[in-house]
Amino acid sequence: MPRLRRVPSRERPDWMAQADRLGYDYYRNSDGSFAWREDVRYEFDASALALIRKVTETLHDLCLDVVQDAVGREGGLDEFFIPRAVQDTVRQSWQRRDPFVIGRFDLAWCGGQPKLIEYNADTPATLPESTRMQTVWHRRRGWPHTHAALDAALLTDRLRHLRQKGLIHHTVHIVPYPDNTEDRTHALFYRQWAEEAGLNAIHCELKDLEIELPRVLWRQNDPRGKKNS
């Protein structure tokens, strides 16, 4: 059976200063608790890691099936509260098979099996701690980093590949959610990775974006010129 163990671990006395230097500055939650801890760690054996990889790939494919159903069925996007004004944009993006970059599954470990909590495909947070913090932590402990959660080089390689295939534009806009420390930190990381991939990365604020909705058509058979609702 795949094995996952939660075991005590020795905390580095300077880990908070190290996190600040790496740009990971939201390790403390608003209630005072810590989002990053080093007094415990989780150990996965090889079969557990293989199972998690298999499960996440299966879950991702199932989520794409849900999108296909919602896009192809009348009223399907309404069920996900997608505004009517942008539903055609969503359908066109799906029909073009626009590529994705990264997503994050939240899983619970139940009786030796991972169970889905949620799929953060649109807000894949925890990247700084999954890349730089874990890398430094492994090195300081003298442990191999081959089983780390994420290698940042995979992200830059993915972006570089998408650009070479003409699937993304040379200029990308990185827009964090307003007044959110975690989003701001992620935007800085994404900008650096995009620039490493050779892209022109523009970091801008949400309030500075202007959104132009599709023009509303006039009714052809209405002499009063009323607009469609």
> Within this chain, do residues 100 and 206 fall inside the same structural domain, yes or no?
no
**145 and 156 both lie in a single domain:** no
pLDDT band at 146 (very low <50, low <70, confident <90, very high): low
Pairwise CA distance, residues 186 & 84, whole Å: 30
C-beta of residue 135 within 8 angstroms of C-beta of residue 145: yes
Q: Which domain holds residue 25?
A: 4-150
My answer on whether 89 and 169 are in the same domain is: no
In this structure, the answer to whether residues 128 and 201 fall within a common structural domain is no
pLDDT value for 121: 83
Total of domains in the chain: 2
Residue 216 scores a pLDDT above 80: no
Q: Alpha carbon of 89 to those of 77, 95, 164, 229: distances in Å?
A: 11, 10, 24, 18
Same domain for 142 and 185, yes or no, is: no
Q: Do 66 and 179 fall within a single domain?
A: no
pLDDT: which is higher, 179 or 80: 80
> Where would I find the H helices in the chain?
15-22, 46-72, 84-96, 127-128, 134-141, 152-164, 181-196
Q: Please check the confidence at residue 3 and state whether its pLDDT lies above 70.
A: yes
Same domain for 165 and 79: no
C-alpha closest to that of 86 among 217, 227, 214: 214
Q: Is the pLDDT of residue 195 over 90?
A: yes
| 77 and 166, same domain (yes or no) | no
Confidence of residue 147 (pLDDT cuts 50, 70, 90): low
Same domain, 21 and 73: yes
pLDDT in tens, 14-48: 999 999 998 898 899 889 999 999 999 988 888 99
Same domain, 135 and 210: no
* Same structural domain, 179 and 101: no
**89-114: pLDDT as tens digits:** 999 999 999 988 888 899 999 988 89
d(CA 155, CA 99): 13
Domain containing 169 — which CATH number? 3.40.30
Spell 90-111 as b/e; 16+ CB within 10 A means b. Answer: bbeeeeeeeeeeeebbebeeee
Q: Does residue 141 sit in the same domain as residue 58?
A: yes
